[in-house]
Structure 1
Amino acid sequence: MYWEEKILDIDYRDKDLYAYLAAFMTENKRQHFARVLAERTRHVTVLLEDIYQEQNASAVIRSADCFGIQDVHVVEVNHRYNLNRKVLKGAAKWVDIHRYTSTQSALDKLKGEGFKLVATSPHAEMTLDELPVNEKVAFMMGTESTGLTDQAMEQADYQIKIPMYGFTESFNLSVSTALCLNTIATKLRKDENIAWQMSEDERQVLAMRWVLKCIRRSELHIENFYKNLSHK
């Protein structure tokens, strides 16, 4: 199940409204929001192509949240992207999931936003550690049984391999994704020349969306906020 987000007719960039709503949360929660927002990024994303195992799908969302990745893109051609709440541990509440009905529409969207498409392959020459991070990257992941489609592989800007030292040829989907995200997140935070953090405007919008998910009767609080404004 996806997290259902309420879309309200308000200015999500209104700092005064945010401050008013945030007052209904604990100070600890407000500080936690600030810490997480400072580490959030849209410099890296994940594209999942027709994943049908809900445990793996959910583990990817959880890893994305843990490594500060805000967006996950999901192609649903033959399989609905089902999520397992026990695996998620609430991660879907904080990560944006974008759904597509075709691989090409997802690839076009990512390329249009300036992402370099990255496919994993045990036969690639470039290693994960060698992947450049100065440009935005989208890790493409396919199903456990067949991997990415030829369509996705052919349009990849990079093919990389994750170093392995045992008999097994590959990691499973969720582990591969977590390893990619861990490596790239570490490299980004070590490079002071890459602007990987979200803009102040993006953080403000995201903070507003998050606070609306955390407080009860948010519409009533918003109504009271604007009533107070009109009486001043």
Structure 2
Amino acid sequence: MSSPSDTLIIEHLAQYVSDHKKGTIEEVLDKRTRHLTIVLEDTFQSQNASAVFRTAECFGIQDIHLIENLSKYALNKRVLRGANKWLTIKKHAQKEKDNSSECLQSLKASGYKILATMPSANLTIQEVDVSQKIAVVMGNELHGLSDTAIEMADCKVTIPMFGFTESLNLSVSAAICLHELTNKLKESSVDWHLSAEERKQLRLEWYRKLVRNAEMIERKFLESIT
């Protein structure tokens, strides 16, 4: 929840953001969603996870969940190209905890349907019902999803393939899933947009990232009005 001063801070920082950038931010906020989210479980190749980040940002997904039971994620700036700057990245990496269970239980409690992506599933990504919030869970490059993730999934989905090869690159799989789901969502009557409060919080967060010395500017401004 934002504080009353947040509106004043946004208005003050806006002076340091170009009209073009402000316009772009509003256009992006119009298309941003938390109705869909991506969950990456123990991805061990940084370039693959970073490519998924970039793909998700391009499709207007705001939240990314990283489950770190065995593998720790490292940023790959060359692949990311700054995409992480605009995302809300939530890490689940408690020591000696089943982070998969913690993450997925938290998402379920927040109203998300858990979709486990698996080559052997009977339901295709094109057949998924998007009326409920969806968390697409993707496993690591070698072993796929953990038993915990599979057991906790509300449904298991696959991407139809017609060749000899039975799997796709992680970022390619994410792109196909998000393309199908976002298209379906936008053609539906579901209100998938951010709330006014969520837009305000992201606007403030992004202004702070765009404005050089934003912390100092903000501090001096708050001192001047108190």
| TM-score class normalised by the smaller sequence | over 0.9
Deviation at 1:122, TM superposition (A): 2.0
* Structure-2-length-normalised TM-score: 0.93
In structure 1, give the amino acid aligned to 2:20.
N
Deviation at 1:136, TM superposition (A): 0.4
CA–CA distance in 2 between the matches of 1:131 and 1:163? 13
Deviation at 1:103, TM superposition (A): 0.9
1:1-232 equivalence runs, <5 A: 11=3, 14-101=6-93, 102-191=99-188, 193-230=189-226
Deviation at 1:229, TM superposition (A): 3.2
CA–CA distance in 1 between the matches of 2:194 and 2:87? 14
Deviation at 1:17, TM superposition (A): 2.0
Deviation at 1:13, TM superposition (A): 6.9
* Structure-1-length-normalised TM-score: 0.91
In structure 2, give the amino acid aligned to 1:229.
I
SS of corresponding position for 1:14: helix
In structure 1, give the amino acid aligned to 2:109.
G
Deviation at 1:19, TM superposition (A): 1.6
Change in Cα spacing, 1:119 to 1:21, as seen in structure 2 (3 Å) is: same
Change in Cα spacing, 1:12 to 1:58, as seen in structure 2 (3 Å) is: farther
Asked if structure 2 preserves the Cα contact closer than 8 Å seen for 1:12 and 1:204, the reply is no
RMSD: 1.5
Q: Which residue of 1 aligns with 2:96?
A: none
In structure 2, give the amino acid aligned to 1:36.
V
Specify every segment of 5 or more residues in structure 1 that has no aligned partner in the other structure, as ranges.
1-9
TM-superposition CA deviations, 1:188-228 (whole Å, max 9, x none)? 1111x201011011000010011001101112322343344
TM-superposition CA deviations, 1:3-52 (whole Å, max 9, x none)? xxxxxxx8387323212101101110000000001111110001111110
In structure 1, give the amino acid aligned to 2:145.
L
CA–CA distance in 2 between the matches of 1:204 and 1:13? 12
Deviation at 1:128, TM superposition (A): 0.6
